[in-house]
Amino acid sequence: MSKSILPADTYIVRNRTVFSERDRTILIMLYQPLIGSTAISLYFTLWAYLDKAEVLSCEWTHHHLMTNMRLKLEEILVAREKLEAIGLLRTLVKESNVNEYIYELFSPLNPSEFFNNPVLATTLYNNVGKIEYEKIIEYFKLPRVSIKDYSDITKSFNDVFEVVSSSSLESVLEEIKEKKKRKINLSSNINVNEVLELIPDELLNHKSLTKDTKELIDKLAFIYQLDSDSCIELIRNSLTIKRTIDKDLLKKNALNYYGFEHGGKLPSIVYRNQPEYLRKPSGDNSKKAKMIYTFETVSPYDFLRSKNNGVNPSRSDLKIVEYLMVDLELKPGVVNVLLDFVMRINNNKLNKAFIDTIASQWKRSKIETVEAAMNLAGKEYNKKNKTYTKTKIKEEKPEWFDKSIEAKRPDNDTLKEMKELLNEFK
């Protein structure tokens, strides 16, 4: 694991692609609604640092980047992670007293690739809404031109050129600039190959399956939270008479399935587990630090699964997690602490109304780190126990417990009488 990034750490920018002005439009119209203006601004800033040939930058410090963008280092790190996750940036580091970073820039997908990626297209639709989404689609559409009455008279290569012997040329392909894009790396909860094997040959021609088709299934399983059984059913309902998978129909069926299961809502993309910049620095080996590390590195889905002894969480529990992460925008690690706290004090039950009360308070208190969530949960737990103890004691107290009783000294005759009575018990 790399060290925490510091302002003094250096970086250079390396261009791995060929930029065009159209890329700027694509980044602003398609990518910015997904990852935000800060991440796009960081991309453009790194792009601007390249030399005139747009190949390599000189060495800079992160302090310079902070000053230039007027951002805190933590904000830059969040923006960088978003660029990495969506395939626009690759980060390399060489650790020493002053860490040295290399930021490699990649091109955005072209509009056709973007809209055919269910993860990106669905998230864009969810973020901008139906009307704006349709406007964006219309913007990138090619104008329709009728060629009905035209003949194709284009010459082929062979019609114009012929091959003759020539001196051999040394290969310099690796030095030639070309447009390069990075794929989005994601993993769903299914094994695509195992899912496809469960569909018989009579229904599906397995030889027709391509790498792109398998990647599409994996992406759909990720964005629509599909398990193996749901995937098999959706694929079977998307087969053609030629025993091939209709990709467009598969995407449509997956969207309809998710909408039915979630009351018409569309999926949103959130952090899987606690983002790096909000994690506790390593070095502390205490029991509490180990617990913090667990909350930070486990997704809420896996956390609930562990609480269920390996059994997948119920749909109602997952809807609670979705509400906490999407609607209230609580960080994954904080959600884990909240779930753990509620289950501890509520007999392992997740009550939506009870959770909403606590979650709203944590949201107003701007709780973003696991440690802060644990500290607040601890105070609430102690307060609850203290209140319970006081209530219990109060119920068990006799009526006279808190009353002030005035003590009166007996007179001499009374004392003499008491003494005579006591002598009888000797």
CATH number of the domain where residue 27 is located:
1.10.10
Which of 248-257, 326-335, 378-387 comes out lowest in average pLDDT? 378-387
User: Do 246 and 305 belong to one domain?
Assistant: no
Domain-located, residue 1 = no
Residues 58, 103, single domain; the answer is yes
284 is a domain residue: yes
Phi and psi torsions of 235, nearest 5° = -65, -45
- Residue 29: partners with Cβ closer than 8 Å, 6 or more residues away: 136, 139
Task: Give the pair of three-digit tokens for residue 43.
Answer: 């991309």
Structure-derived torsion over alpha carbons of residues 80, 82, 83, 87, reported in degrees to the nearest 10: 140
What's the CA gap between 414 and 116, in Å, rounded?
A: 103
Same-domain status, 262 and 323: no
84 part of a folded domain: yes
Closest CA to 16 of 61, 50, 41: 50
- Quick check: is 318 in a domain? yes
Residues 13-30: pLDDT tens digits? 999 888 888 999 999 999
Residues 236 and 293 both lie in one domain: no
Q: Do 213 and 247 contact (CB within 8 A), yes or no?
A: yes
User: 222: helix, coil or strand?
Assistant: helix
Distance CA 193, CA 197 (A): 6
- How far apart CA 330 and CA 338 sit, in angstroms, is 10
- For residues 233 and 322, membership in a common domain is answered with no
Tell me: do 281 and 339 sit in the same domain.
yes
pLDDT in tens, 81-112: 999 999 999 999 999 899 999 999 999 999 99
Helix pair 352-364, 370-396: axis angle to 10 deg: 120
On whether residue 356 sits in a domain, the answer given is yes
Cβ-count burial 310-335 (b if 16+ within 10 Å, e if not): eeebeeebbbbbbbbbeeeebbbbbb
DSSP secondary structure letter of residue 285: -
Range 237-244 average pLDDT: 91
Residue 240 inside a domain? The answer is: yes
For residue 407, name the pLDDT band (cuts at 50, 70, 90). Answer: very low
Mean pLDDT of 271-287: 76
Q: Single out the residue in 252, 269, 286 at which a domain terminates.
A: 269
Residue 224 and residue 243: Cα distance in Å, rounded? 24
- Among the candidates 359, 382, 405, a domain finishes at 382
Domain that holds residue 241: 186-269
Task: Please count the structural domains in the chain.
Answer: 3
Give residue-wise pLDDT tens across range 208-220: 899 889 888 888 8
Which residue in the block uniquely carries the two structure tokens 């993309």? 269
Judge if 104 and 201 occupy the same domain.
no
Could you tell me the CA-to-CA distances from 270 to 84, 202, 273, 330 in Å, in that order?
A: 15, 39, 9, 10
Indicate whether 413 belongs to any domain.
no
Are 105 and 73 in a shared domain? Answer: yes
Beta strands per DSSP E along 83-227? 89-94, 100-105
Whether 198 and 254 map to the same domain: the answer is yes
Residue 425 located in a structural domain: no
Domain limit, last residue, from 269, 293, 308: 269
Tokens of 14: 């390396």
